[in-house]
Amino acid sequence: MPESFEQMWAALAPVGRSGVGGGYFRQPFASAERECHAWFVEQCAARGLRVQSDGNGNTVGWWEHAGASGPAVLTGSHLDSVLDGGAYDGPLGVVSALAAIDLLRERGIHPTRPIGVAAFAEEEGSRFGLACLGSRLAVGSVSADQARALRDRDGVRLEDAMSAQGLEPVLGRSDWLGDVGCYLELHVEQGRDLVDRDVAVGLASSIWPHGRYRFDFDGEANHAGSTAMADRHDPMLTFAMTALAANKQARLSASAAGARATFGRLDVGPNSTNAVPSSVTAWLDARCETEEELAGLVAAIERQGLDRAARDGTTLAVTAESVSPAVLFDTDLTRRLAALGTDRPVIATAAGHDAGVLAVAGIPSAMLFVRNPTGVSHSPAEFAETADCLAGVEALADALAELAS
Positions in the binding site for Mn ion (CB under 5 A): 89-90, 352-353
3-state DSSP assignment of residue 251: helix
124 known member of a binding site: yes
User: Which residues, 6 or more positions from 305, have their beta carbon under 8 angstroms from its beta carbon?
Assistant: 215, 217, 238, 241, 242, 245, 316, 318
Question: Rounded to the nearest 10 degrees, how much is the dihedral formed by the CA atoms of 104, 105, 110, 115?
Answer: 60
Q: Is residue 137 near ligand GLV by the rule CB under 6 A?
A: no
Provide the minimum distance between the beta carbon of 124 and Mn ion in the complex, in angstroms, as a whole number. 5
Length of the chain as a residue count? 405
| The only residue of 351, 358, 367, 389 in contact with ligand GLV, by rule CB under 6 A | 351
378 is in an annotated binding site: yes
What distance lies between CA 366 and its chain's CA centroid?
15
Minimum CB distance to ligand GLV smaller for 124 or for 302: 124
Task: Select 125 or 392, whichever has its Cβ closest to ligand GLV.
Answer: 125
To the question of whether residue 271 is assigned a binding role by annotation, the answer is no
3, 63 Cβ separation under 8 angstroms: no
For 252, 350, 381, the CA distances from 293, given in Å and listed in that order, are 11, 14, 31
Nearest CB to ligand GLV, comparing residues 97 and 351: 351
> Does 124 contact ligand GLV by CB under 6 A?
yes
> Regarding beta strands 201-207 and 327-328, do their DSSP bridges make them parallel or antiparallel, or are they unpaired?
antiparallel
- In the complex, the smallest distance separating the C-beta of residue 364 from ligand GLV, rounded to whole angstroms, is 21
90 is in the binding site of which of Mn ion, ligand GLV, none (Cβ under 5 to 8 A by kind)? Answer: Mn ion
If one asks whether residue 101 binds ligand GLV (CB under 6 A), the answer comes out as no
For 99-150, the DSSP string reads: HHHHHHHHTT---SS-EEEEEES-SS-TTTS-TTHHHHHHHTSS-HHHHHT-
| 277 contact choice in Mn ion, ligand GLV, none (CB below 5 to 8 Å, kind-dependent) | none
Binding mask 143-182 for ligand GLV (x = CB under 6 A): ----------------------------------------
Q: Which of 352, 364, 380, 392 binds ligand GLV (CB under 6 A)?
A: 352
Helix, coil or strand: residue 214: strand
Cβ closest to ligand GLV, residue 126 vs residue 174: 126
d(CA 133, CA 147): 8
Q: Which residues participate in the annotated binding site for Zn(2+)?
A: 78, 89, 124, 187, 378
Q: Which residues participate in the annotated binding site for allantoate?
A: 212, 274, 287
